[in-house]
Amino acid sequence: MEDFPGLFGLVVVPALIVFAALVFVARQYRRCPSNMVLVVYGNVGGNKTAKCIHGGGTFIIPLIQDFRFLSLEPLTTEIDLRGALSKKNIRVNVPSSFTIAIATEPNVMLNAAERLLGLGRNDIINQANDIIVGQLRLVIATLSIEEINQDREKFLDLVNVNVNIELNKIGLDVINVNIRDITDESGYIDAIGKKAAAEAINQAKVEVAQQIKLGEVGEAIANREKEVQVAEQRAQAEIGKITAQREQRIRIAGLDADAVIGENTAKAQIADSDAELAVKRAAALRLGEVARANSERDVLIAQKEQEEAKLKKEELARQEVEKLKTQVMADAEAEKLRRIALGEADAVRARYFAESEGVKAVLEAKAHGYQRLAAICASRPELATSFLMIEKIEAIVAKQVEAIKNIKFDKITVWDGGSGQSGGGAAANFMRDLIRSLPAMHDLAAQAGIELPELLGKVGPATNGNMVEKGSSAVPGPGQ
């Protein structure tokens, strides 16, 4: 009993270790379902980035390897291809549906592991859509409308091959392609269908006419043989009834006559049959030609309508562009005129504002000056008026000079009538009177109720034709 614990440790502990190792190995062994691809990545040996397993299982080495699954569930995508350019530069619409899935070929599975592992269903479909649309356009560009429409099997084979080659590069494979319909905006395919239908109808009519001809010819031949046989039987019956004693010549002549009659009757029937056959053949040919002409007319009408629609569309587009261009130019010109007007208005406003500020400054300065002048001359207000009048004397004198400066005195002739007036000659009197016609400065001041200062002098009455200034030395007259 003393050795039992040691024996237990020697037996049970190794068994537990082996069991734990088996459990660990069992947990690291991964089996792949039939509808999945097991992708083992990490250090998988060689130059491979991953190891793909479809069916069976493999051991995942801890720490240096990991795994994920790729679903083999089929993916269906709808491709609504519009305006694909065909070989004859006619755009066609090819709505179709494609069924794709992750490929199970070893090399293609590796492509899927490298490019699709971790992507969702919609991401995979989006990548496939881009490839499918590009290959569809490429295949359509190599075929004419007739080849696409008449040989659908060839078209589907080309689409399958081209699309499958490109999809294999990302690990996908094409399961099924379904082209729902092939149409074009110009109506060319409909015209081809109408043409084919018309040709089929014409061919059927020709074949019907041929069969009718064969039937009528056979019927005519049968009738002819029947008539001959009947004639022969009748002749033999008549010969049997005729007595052996009748002359051989009469019997032969009768037989010949009957034979000629039978031959003529058969020939007449054959001629009638040939005539009827010719009439029916001509009628069938005429119907075929009429149908072909109608088909060609429909095609030409469709092409004409297509060209007219295209020209109308281009003309409307051109008119719309011209309209937009004119509108943009008009808006730009209006904006330009508006900005010019705003600039001119701002300039005028600025000039008037500056002028008003200048006038305001001048008036304020004058008002300040007048205020000081009034304060200085408070005891003698008439002095302020005199000073203001003196300020305007220069302007008054300038106006007087302006009044006579444009008078031209190239030649003056004065007639005194021999009166011999004293106080100077007639010319002197003329000049004096001309000067006196100007308003005198003192008179202007007096009219304004202002008495000028004495330092400016005063104009006294004329003596002997001379003007004398009071308060100053006398100014001699012209004779002194």
pLDDT reported for residue 9: 60
- Domain containing residue 45: 25-72
Alpha helix stretches (DSSP H) within 377-440:
381-391, 393-404, 426-436
pLDDT reported for residue 133: 93
Which one-letter amino acid corresponds to residue 256?
D
Same domain? For 129 and 237 the reply is: no
pLDDT reported for residue 439: 57
Query: ∠ CA(431), CA(433), CA(436), 5° rounding?
Result: 110
Q: How far is CA 112 from CA 45, 108, 172, 318, in A?
A: 19, 6, 7, 51
Same domain? For 142 and 201 the reply is: no
pLDDT reported for residue 138: 92
Is 175 a member of any domain? yes
pLDDT reported for residue 480: 36
Domain stop point among 293, 308, 326? 326
**Residue 77: φ, ψ to 5°:** -130, 140
* Cα atoms in the 13 Å half-sphere on the side-chain side of 250: 8
**pLDDT, mean of residues 21-50:** 81
List the one residue out of 33, 136, 35, 34 whose CA is nearest residue 77: 136
Domain count, the chain: 4
Same domain? For 198 and 171 the reply is: no
Instruction: Take residue 455 and report the two structure tokens written for it.
Output: 């330092």
Strand, coil or helix: 38: strand
Instruction: Take residue 389 and report the two structure tokens written for it.
Output: 């009048």
416-431 as b/e: b if 16+ CB within 10 A: eeeeeeeebeeebbeb
**pLDDT, mean of residues 180-186:** 81
Does residue 164 register a pLDDT over 90? yes
56: left (phi over 0), alpha (psi -120 to 50) or beta: left
The enclosing domain of 163 has a CATH number of 3.30.479.30
Same domain? For 133 and 249 the reply is: no
Same domain? For 66 and 79 the reply is: no
Is 411 a member of any domain? no
pLDDT confidence of 409, banded at 50, 70, 90?
A: low
Integer Cα distance of 39 and 48 in angstroms: 12
**Residue 333: φ, ψ to 5°:** -65, -40
pLDDT reported for residue 181: 82
Same domain? For 314 and 198 the reply is: yes
Does residue 222 register a pLDDT over 90? no
Instruction: Take residue 382 and report the two structure tokens written for it.
Output: 């008439």
**pLDDT, mean of residues 9-17:** 69
Integer Cα distance of 378 and 20 in angstroms: 131
Secondary structure element (H or E) that encloses residue 151, with its range: none
Integer Cα distance of 287 and 439 in angstroms: 123
Is 345 a member of any domain? no
**pLDDT, mean of residues 321-343:** 85
- 0.85 exceeded by the pTM? no
Strand, coil or helix: 36: strand
Integer Cα distance of 50 and 65 in angstroms: 10
**pLDDT, mean of residues 182-211:** 71
pLDDT confidence of 169, banded at 50, 70, 90?
A: very high
Same domain? For 56 and 105 the reply is: no
Same domain? For 214 and 307 the reply is: yes
Q: How far is CA 16 from CA 22, 27, 139, 380, in A?
A: 10, 16, 66, 140
Q: What is the pLDDT of residues 428-469, one digit of tens each?
A: 666 666 555 555 656 666 655 566 555 455 555 544 444 444
Same domain? For 79 and 162 the reply is: yes
Looking at residue 71, what DSSP letter applies?
E
Is 333 a member of any domain? no
Is 122 a member of any domain? yes
Strands 172-179 and 458-459: unpaired
pLDDT reported for residue 95: 92
Q: What is the pLDDT of residues 333-342, one digit of tens each?
A: 888 888 888 8
281-297 as b/e: b if 16+ CB within 10 A: eeebeeebeebeeebee
Same domain? For 29 and 80 the reply is: no
Integer Cα distance of 44 and 51 in angstroms: 7
pLDDT reported for residue 310: 84
Q: How far is CA 54 from CA 65, 104, 105, 176, 218, in A?
A: 18, 7, 9, 22, 71
Neighbours of 409 (CB within 10 A): 8
Residue with tokens 């794709």: 100
Most confident of 20-24, 65-69, 221-225, 414-418: 65-69
* pLDDT averaged over every residue in the chain: 76
Is 20 a member of any domain? no
Does residue 294 register a pLDDT over 80? yes
Instruction: Take residue 134 and report the two structure tokens written for it.
Output: 């590009």
Same domain? For 318 and 216 the reply is: yes
Q: What is the pLDDT of residues 75-102, one digit of tens each?
A: 999 999 888 888 878 888 899 999 999 9
pLDDT reported for residue 352: 82
Domain stop point among 185, 203, 227? 185
Residue with tokens 């005429």: 286
pLDDT confidence of 311, banded at 50, 70, 90?
A: confident
Instruction: Take residue 411 and report the two structure tokens written for it.
Output: 């030649």
Same domain? For 114 and 59 the reply is: no
Is 2 a member of any domain? no
Domain stop point among 37, 53, 72? 72
Is 113 a member of any domain? yes
Integer Cα distance of 220 and 211 in angstroms: 14
